[in-house]
Amino acid sequence: MSLRNLILLLLMVIAVHQVVSITFTSRLLHRFSKDMKAFRVSGSTTGVRASWPEKGSMEYYQELVSGDFQRQKMKLGSRFQWLFPSEGSKTIELGNDFGWLHYTWIDIGTPSVSFLVALDAGSDLLWVPCDCIQCAPLSASYYGSLDKDLNEYRPSKSSTSKHISCSHNLCDSGQSCQSPKQSCPYVIDYTTENTSSSGLLIQDVLHLSSGCENSSNCTIQAPVILGCGMKQSGGYLSGVAPDGLFGLGLGEISVLSSLAKEGLVPNSFSLCFNEDGSGRIFFGDEGPASQQMTSFVPLDEKYEAYIVGVEACCIGNSCLKQTSFKALIDSGTSFTYLPEEAYENIVMEFDKRLNVTSTVSFKGYPWKYCYKISTDAMPKVPSVTLLFPLNNSFVVHDPVFPIYGDQGLAGFCFSILPADGDIGILGQNYMTGYRMVFDRDNLKLGWSRANCQDLSNDKEMPIAPAKETPPNPLPANEQQSAPGGHAVAPAIAGRAPSKPSAAAPCIIPSSFYSIRLPHLILLVLCLVSTCV
């Protein structure tokens, strides 16, 4: 090979190297380097983060370790398929004394203390009566359906409790604090008139179970933020949630958000209610593959609550015009409410299709369309179907409440009420017989007919619901005569959810390895010597 050819070959290799270097190499920056800080400032519309850790400081290494843990969780996925309260996944409806909501027992703190909390998908915060200034009675003798006293939480008695300071990112009331180190106060006003809870935010452990057979690894102590409810008002003093409220909403402060962020379970949960007042709750449950689904819709471009868009309603096989609306899916509301126009169209069609001539009113019951019957046999009642996009439908097979008198079954009412505004509420009564899945990651609602058995023993809930004659499910007293009464529990109270944030821009090294120039020259020289 001539010298000229060798020089041309060397020049060609160098040129190829330059192309490869330009195409496939990239600059690698440490996340806390000066260059990265400048990059974050130049690419941000709000400026750089509030603090930038000094290299070698404790904060510097804490943030690096925290980032490693988060990436590890992303690689490994959730530790458990589902979790539930350590006292069991069962929920129960306790009648008029407790507002006709579903409750479950939870354990908080060290040593653990048990609380009977109402399940509310319409708000975010878990709160319990705590260091009480104004709380509901906690004695079992005050309520007709309890066999033990309810408890009051005392943070000073729990070795794992600590106050949340006003500087915490989840402290909404921080601007009203006199000092960043002050304990964070909270005040939540609920939809039911004059109903509220206020106190201080506390971090403590919530005791959960995975339902596994190895008891030593079955119990999980999950750190969560809860409200030390020092002062309650309205319905919370008259029987609704006397021992606390478990907010299951989309807000970042909710227990569900904490469990998902810690990588314990998928960011989803399910509620399942039977006609006999029993039920189940599972954290992390994503539902069966066969379930029907519809997407949650935003309000004012924010996903603040579990809102769905109903395209139309059907009574029996008759689908009605002008019955589209948005509805909140809320276990914390006892009954179902529809916007005025949809309500009028639906109740009139129901009344027309029902083969019962007499419409009556039953004292103490809030419904407009009630019917008296002369026998103990319930007449055939048409179903109510809510239609969603993509041909998904939610069927309420038994949309009435039976009314019992001294002589047995006296009549029934069409159990829908008119809503005050343009947002309806699909309440607890119309969730009965369904496994309702709140998929918070994908912002979807799933539902499937179910018998609400324990998922820890049977991964698939039976699809055929239990069919038993329910007891009289409503109180016959004046507290039920209006939406603001005892039975209509809090809905939509709480924080706007934090939107899924885009990943912070980072510079990723190329997956291609670039050969350095000196190595190329040596390679060419080797080839030359071989050729010569």
Note the pLDDT of residue 354: 86
Its pTM stands at 0.74
Give the chain's domains with CATH numbers: 83-283 (2.40.70.10), 292-449 (2.40.70.10)
**HSE-up (13 A, CA, CB side) for residue 403:** 22
Catalytic pick among 107, 120, 124, 439: 120
Ranges of beta strands (E only) in 379-517 are: 384-387, 393-396, 400-405, 408-414, 416-418, 423-426, 434-439, 444-449
Q: In 3D, which of 378, 437, 421 has the Cα closest to residue 121?
A: 437
pLDDT tens, the chain, 532 aa long: 555 565 565 556 555 455 444 444 445 455 556 655 554 444 444 333 445 566 666 565 556 555 554 544 444 578 999 999 999 999 999 887 888 899 999 999 999 999 999 999 999 999 999 999 999 999 999 988 898 999 999 999 999 999 999 999 999 887 789 899 999 999 999 988 889 999 999 999 999 999 876 656 788 999 999 999 999 999 999 889 999 999 999 999 999 999 999 999 999 999 999 989 999 999 999 999 999 999 999 998 999 999 999 999 999 999 999 999 999 999 999 889 999 999 999 999 999 988 776 678 888 888 889 998 877 678 889 999 999 999 999 999 889 988 888 888 889 999 999 998 999 999 999 999 999 999 999 999 999 999 887 665 544 444 434 333 333 333 333 333 333 333 333 333 322 223 222 222 222 222 322 334 444 344 444 444 444 4
Taking CA atoms, 227 is separated from 159, 399, 492, in Å, by 17, 36, 17
Strand, helix or coil for residue 164: coil
Tens of pLDDT, residue by residue over 459-470, are: 444 443 433 333
Contacts of 57 (CB under 8 A, 6+ apart): none
Taking CA atoms, 270 is separated from 374, 435, 494, in Å, by 40, 7, 20
Strand, helix or coil for residue 194: coil
CA distance 158 to 152: 12
- Cβ(340)–Cβ(419) under 8 Å? yes
**HSE-up (13 A, CA, CB side) for residue 311:** 11
Residue 206 φ then ψ, to 5°: -105, 125
Rg value, the chain, Cα: 30
User: Would residue 35 show up in a list of annotated catalytic residues for this protein?
Assistant: no
CA distance 532 to 530: 6
Contacts of 49 (CB under 8 A, 6+ apart): 40
Chain centre to alpha carbon of residue 58: 35
Catalytic pick among 107, 204, 285, 330: 330
Q: Inter-axis angle of helices 3-24 and 517-531, to 10 degrees? A: 150
Q: In 3D, which of 336, 313, 337 has the Cα closest to residue 385?
A: 313
Note the pLDDT of residue 248: 97
User: Would residue 120 show up in a list of annotated catalytic residues for this protein?
Assistant: yes
- Cβ(285)–Cβ(438) under 8 Å? no
